[in-house]
Chains A and B, each alone.
Chain A
Amino acid sequence: MSAEKPDEKVPAAPELSPLLEKVVSRLGDRVLEHHTARGDDRIHVARERILEAARILRDDPELSFDLLLDVTAIDYFGQPDNFEAKLQVWDRNRAVMRRLPQRRHELVLPPRGPEPRFAVVYHLTSTRLAHRLRIKCRVPEDDPKIPSVTAVWPAANWLERETWDLYGIVFDGHPDLRRIYLYEEFVGHPLRKDYAKHGEQPIQEYVGPGAKEPRRPH
């Protein structure tokens, strides 16, 4: 990485892997971005179009992504969505400090994520063709909603419930969106970065059907 002259760095045109070529040609403009890093192929899809993209990915005979391995989310809380960009800025700052500490005003802050806070991540594979793909959909904090893919892959049922439980992302159209690990009355979503690791909360009272009088005086 040429940390000295970040402006002159021309990013090389990303080369498409054979799988991504097929995926991009099938999905067309539904693919916002695509990357190949460390042997993993990744595409970004707008959250409104995830359901149609999912149907194409499953039903196209040359893609045939029939096995949904994983659904999870990432919380980019207070971070630029692109860690690589942050590192570039850090490297540049370090280079500035090393050469001319008096030019401290040239330091720049890492770009704050203009992108939405959450990303929902799907991992797919094909049992027949044995390739893997990762799909990312950005989900903003103030409207954490994304269409559910349960109709395409029933495997998403529990995985989406888990993502709702731990990240608080609502899956529209999910048949049974309950918490799966924690109990219904739990306050907050513990895998969000603003939920403290040692954040304890007292056991919340059960409020569902058949709830009795509160056992403890408040």
Chain B
Amino acid sequence: MLDPERKNPAVPIEGNQAAALEELHTPPMRLQFGPSHPATHGTVKITLDLEGEQVVWSDVEVGYLHRGFEKECETGYYYQNIPYTDRLNYSSPILNNTGYCMAVEKLFGIAPPERCNYIRTIGCELSRMADHMLCIGASAMELAAFTPMLYLIEGRELILDMVDSLCGARVTTNFVRIGGISANMPENFPEFARPRLDRALKLFEDADKLLTENPVFRQRMEGTGYLSRDDLIAWGVTGPMLRAGGEPYDVRKVHPYLVYGELDFDVPVGEHSDNFDRYLVRLEEFRQSRRIILQCLERMPDGPVDADDPRVRWPGKGRVFNRMEELIDQFKLVTEGGMPPAGEVYHAVEAANGELGFYIVSDGTGKPWKCRCRAPSFSNMSPLSKMITGGQLADVVPTFGMINMIGGECDR
């Protein structure tokens, strides 16, 4: 029953079956899957041509959530665009904040202090955990397994509690600033976080127990959505999907940023490159993220959280209230924005779904000339049509679920 070698069942129609089809004169049935379908956790339209249950042609249409993020960024100061990046991948917003701010910092040539990097790392990994929980829970629910979703949402709430105590909001975090973070970590955060991390892990293990050995879940995940490693790379797929194909490409390891170079964690890779391996990779990444957070909490250094750079970081309010120079500085920074030198940078971070890059072109004014977001979901979605064509109709749902397309990021 559980044949690990089962690949994408692209069975050519031949022999008796072809003769039968010839006789029956059934034209392919056109099925519009979406834009709002209960089995897709994102607004996307998939047009399918079906021969019986087999998909013979498909077309994927995105863009239902296009809001003009890049156009909006061109008209705002650098600091004003940070809240918009929350809305890119709304299940792991701190990762987007960090990616954007690090790109702008690279433009300015600022290195934030150590403590800031540690807190950012904690925020990033919390976001990654929340994203994987939501991805696995939603995918399981689309395959009619409702209980794991409840456990995972409960665990995700615990993680969002921690995000909430860091920055005062659960989803629209607006946490990271250019050259710093919006607020220092609360003193009692380690004591607050550890029991919650343990409890979230327990709930996660429960969902794991429910799903990993479940024969229905495994039959629908194993062997479906197969794409070879070379195809994955050629189609620009990154993140857990690429790692499930056996390629250990992880920006955190390949181009270490923040404090990932000093931490001890593993990159999970799969070997079958199907949906079940993508699921297993996400399971393992969740555990590794928890490991990273515990290490960060242990090693958390003292010190300032903001880079002492008057070009970008607003002066502390204590000085703004009482001193003329800082008051003027505050007015200048708010009304003109920080002015980076002209030039262009690309900076990438490893988001929950793959490489999230920001390409910023500056003309020397306070507003970016161009702010491009290289969204992982967008590139990961592009081979979807290739992955589902030739398979069964029922395989579309787990494949789409394991791509974990986030509309806000894919459509920007």
Direct contact, A vs B (beta carbon within 8 Å): yes
Q: Encode contact with A along B221-242: 1 for CB under 8 Å, 0 otherwise.
A: 0000000000101111110000
B235 touches A86 (CB 8 A): no
B363 touches A69 (CB 8 A): no
Which one of B2-10, B47-55, B371-379 is at the A interface? B371-379
Contact (A155, B379) CB under 8 Å given A38-B106, A123-B357, A180-B63: yes
Looking at the assembled complex, report how far the CB atom of B174 sits from the nearest CB atom of chain A, in whole angstroms: 22
Give the CA-CA distance A90 to B72 in the complex, in Å: 27
How many residues of chain A have a CB within 8 Å of chain B?
A: 39
- Which residue of B is nearest A80, CB measured? B363
B233 neighbours in A (Cβ, 8 Å):
66-67, 127
B363 touches A83 (CB 8 A): yes
A90 neighbours in B (Cβ, 8 Å):
364
A158 touches B342 (CB 8 A): no
B357 touches A38 (CB 8 A): no
Q: Is B71 on the interface with A (CB-CB < 8 A)?
A: yes
Give the CA-CA distance A67 to B70 in the complex, in Å: 23
Sort chain B's interface into a size bin: 35 or more
Q: Encode contact with B along A197-216: 1 for CB under 8 Å, 0 otherwise.
A: 10000000000000000000
What is the total of A-B residue contacts with beta carbons within 8 Å? 112
B355 touches A79 (CB 8 A): no
Looking at the assembled complex, report how far the CB atom of B336 sits from the nearest CB atom of chain A, in whole angstroms: 15
B382 touches A70 (CB 8 A): no
**Chain A interface, >50% SS class:** mixed
A127 touches B249 (CB 8 A): yes
Please indicate which of the listed interface residues A70, A72, A123, A159 has the most CB atoms of chain B within 10 Å of its own CB: A70
B63 touches A182 (CB 8 A): yes
Q: Is A34 on the interface with B (CB-CB < 8 A)?
A: no
Selected A-B contacts with CB under 8 Å, 10 pairs? A40-B345, A66-B233, A70-B346, A83-B342, A86-B364, A154-B383, A157-B382, A158-B378, A158-B379, A190-B71
B interface vs A, CB < 8 Å? 61-63, 66, 68, 70-72, 74-75, 106-107, 109, 231, 233-238, 247, 249, 254-255, 341-346, 348, 355, 357, 359, 361-364, 369-370, 372, 374, 378-379, 381-383, 411-412
